[in-house]
Amino acid sequence: MTEILIISHSEDIASGTKALIEQMAEGVTVHASGGVNGGIGTNIGQIDHMLSEVKSDTICFFDIGSSLMNLEMAVEMYEGDHNIHIANAPVVEGSFLAAVEISIGTDIDNIMDKLSEMVK
């Protein structure tokens, strides 16, 4: 089953979005990281650690600025066996849509298509 990875500058946004998804789409695996040392920011090491824990293909969501840069670098360095997709969709709405679609068995290509329609 496809997994979700959330990267935010805010620990509250990351953990809150993860909680929302877990309540609304039971059984979908969500990894979330937000903030650095209790403050605002993202960290490539945290992202790299989450990627090392994925057990299937994964769709990644990010919020602003350096979260995308750090995510892209972590994905570039990823040496695992799974496909890692970066979604260009709003972090909360996009990850929620993806989780619901995952929970009903939609394949990853169709999910990515639906996510790309969100930003048109």
Give me the active site residues, please: 9
For the chain, how far is it from start to end, CA to CA, in angstroms? 27
Sign of the torsion angle spanned by Cα atoms 10, 13, 19, 25: negative
> If you search the block for the tokens 């929620």, which residue do you land on?
96
Q: Tell me the residue ranges of DSSP E strands in 1-120.
A: 3-8, 30-34, 58-62, 84-86
